[in-house]
Each structure stands twice: as structure tokens, then as C-alpha cells.
Structure 1
């Protein structure tokens, strides 16, 4: 997951960086660093998101569409 996708996920959930970080059990600064593309998402963060954020069909479709757009127009 890219930093941009993390921002979109957090926004879709209506959470601040701090709230999101608390839910996944990581620091707010770690979330901010990934969102700003200053750090790549670690396997640990990815696992914590998967374990603590319910991903439904709507969110999966949303990320599928952003992935397709990124392939067409790389950032």
C-alpha cells in the first residue's frame, strides 16, 4: 500500500492520523511518515492494518480502482 492509498483509506474511514495509529497499534509519526512517502510501509504495519481494519468489498473495489489509475498515471 502506498502512502497515498493509506491517506485515502484513513479518509474513507473518517479517522485522523492519531485515531488510525491508535487503532492499528502504531505511532502517529509512523503513519505520518508512510503517508508522506518518507518511509515505506513495513510488513508489521501492513499486518496490523489487516488485523485491525475491517476491509469490505467497497474498500477493496476502491483500492482496485486506485491501483488501476496509478498504473495509467504513475505519480
Structure 2
């Protein structure tokens, strides 16, 4: 799951960054850093999101479409 898809998932569920962070057990600042491309999501974060929201391959495909429909398309590169 790419970082911008995390924002799409959060938007889909209508959650604030704080609410989303609380549900997956991470700090709001971590979610913000990932969404704003200052940090790449860790394997632990991705696993927590997958468990909490029961992510399937089909749902990831849906999120891609959701991004397009809602204009959550990003052109960026990750920096380390």
C-alpha cells in the first residue's frame, strides 16, 4: 500500500488523522508524516492498517478508484 493510499483509506472512512492513528495504534504525527511524504510507512504500520481495516487486494483496487474520483492523486517521489 502506497503512502497516498493511506490518506485515501482514511478519507473513505471519514476519519481525522488522530482518529485513524488511534485505531491503528500509532501517533497522529506518524500518520501525518506518511501522508505528507516525509516518512515511508513502516511494515508495522502497514500490518496494523491491514488488520484494523481488513484490507484485501480488491479493497486496494477500490481505493485506487476512490483516489481518482476524489482527486487524491499525487505525483511525488519519496525522500529518505
- The TM-score bracket by the shorter chain reads 0.7 to 0.9
Flag structure 2 segments of 5+ consecutive residues without an equivalent. Answer: 67-72, 76-80
Q: Deviations 1:20-62 (Å, cap 9, x if unpaired)?
A: 0000000000000000000001001011111111336763331
**TM-score, structure 1 as length reference:** 0.75
Preserved contact between residue 5 and residue 64 of structure 2 (Cα < 8 Å): no
In terms of mean alpha carbon deviation, does 40-49 or 2-11 score higher?
2-11
Which residue matches 2:39? 39
Greater relative contact order (Cα < 8 A, sep 6+): 2
Flag structure 1 segments of 5+ consecutive residues without an equivalent. Answer: 67-72
**TM-score, structure 2 as length reference:** 0.71
Which residue matches 1:59? 59
- For the aligned residues, what is the CA RMSD? 2.6
